[in-house]
Amino acid sequence: MRSLIASAAKLPGVEEGIACAGTALESRTLKIDGRAFAFFGPNDLRVKLSRSLPEAQRLAKARPGSCVPSAGGWTKVALGPGMLGVATLTKWITESYRQFAPPPYGTARERLPTKRAAVKKTVKKPARRA
């Protein structure tokens, strides 16, 4: 885990921090532009995936317990012997970084597509005659 944090901390503009300090949810964070893109717990890692989300979903079915992807892209990955390889984890951390990093390090194309807000059409009602 230390090697993952060390390699991710070398990405441009990355700051380290602690989330939920003093609670059971306390985790080490890596931030870019004030936004956390990776959370390192004692036995797991959480990253936000976009392009690799289908891969994570396949892995979750093939190897239960290895990772738990959510619809929003945030994926909890178990760390430890016999789990996902360092190359995959490094790729996923970089992908998460790019979703939060400002240009030129990150791009909007890396982000998950969002639903466009429905546009309300206002229909004028005819004026009442007195």
In order of their start, the domains of the chain are: 2-110 (3.90.1150.30)
Helix then strand then coil, % of the chain, to nearest 5 = 30, 25, 50
First to last CA, the chain: 76
- Tens-digit pLDDT profile for residues 43-96: 999 999 999 999 999 999 999 889 999 988 999 999 988 788 999 999 999 999
What backbone torsions phi and psi does residue 55 show, to the nearest 5 degrees?
-65, -45
User: The pTM is what?
Assistant: 0.77
**129 — pLDDT class (breaks 50, 70, 90):** confident
Enumerate residues 6+ apart whose C-beta is below 8 A from 40: 1, 4, 5, 27, 28, 29, 30
